[in-house]
């Protein structure tokens, strides 16, 4: 009896997967990459706001990796570099206020954007 249930189960799983793969379009794949990029960018900005430069850089790089044509990852990297150089965390959209912060000691991940 349970054997029948599981066979029905795997048939449903294959059907669901095949249906998804066949009905999804190239645009859907691109949309999913953009969604990931947006999430990573958001996380990078959030980490930056908390002055966690390591985490912010990691997320910014993931944003770039996942959607290389999207500029937002690069923008955040620039913001991070600025913040590390000047000690100022630039205004983010959510709070709209810049906060002064001690620059993180030279664990600089982004050599190419250094001070």
Partner 1 sequence: MNEKKYWSPVTAGILLGIALFISFMVAGQGMGASGAFARSSAQIAYTVDPNFAQNAYAGKYLKHGNALLNWTVIEVVGIFIGGFISALLARRIKPEVTRGKGYSSGKRLFFAFLGGVIVAAATRLTRGCTSGQALDGAATFSVGAWIFMLAAFGAGFFFAFLFKKQWKGVE
Partner 2 sequence: METVFPLFTNGFLDNNLNLMLGLGIGIIFGFILERGGFGTSAHIAPVFYFRSLIVPKIMVTAIITASTLILIGSLLGYIDFSQIFIPTTYLWAYLVGGIIFGLGMVMSGWCPGTAVVGIASLKIDAIFFALGLLVGMFFYFNIYEYIIDFANSGNLGRFTIDKLVGGDIRISYLVTVGVSLALLLFVMTMKKVIDKKGEN
Residue numbers of the site for partner 2 (CB under 8 A)?
10, 13-14, 16-18, 20-22, 24, 26, 28-29, 31-33, 35-36, 39-40, 42-43, 46, 55, 58-59, 62, 65-66
Separation between Cα atoms, residue 88 and residue 98, nearest integer Å: 7
Task: Find which of partner 1, partner 2, none residue 2 binds, CB within 5 to 8 Å per kind.
Answer: partner 1
Closest CA to 80 of 114, 105, 40: 114
Q: How many CB atoms lie within 10 A of CB 64?
A: 21
Name which of residues 1 to 40 contact partner 1 (CB under 8 A). 2-3, 5-7, 9-10, 13
């Amino acid at each position: 009896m349970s054997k029948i249930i599981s066979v029905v189960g795997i048939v449903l799983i294959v059907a669901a997967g095949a249906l998804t793969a066949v009905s999804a379009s190239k645009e859907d794949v691109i949309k999913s990459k953009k969604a990931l990029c947006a999430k990573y960018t958001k996380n990078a900005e959030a980490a930056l706001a908390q002055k966690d430069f390591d985490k912010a850089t990691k997320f910014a790089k993931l944003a770039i990796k996942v959607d290389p044509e999207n500029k937002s990852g690069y923008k955040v990297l620039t913001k991070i570099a600025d913040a590390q150089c000047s000690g100022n965390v630039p205004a983010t959209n959510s709070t709209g206020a810049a906060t002064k912060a001690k620059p993180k000691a030279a664990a600089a991940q982004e050599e190419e954007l250094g001070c």
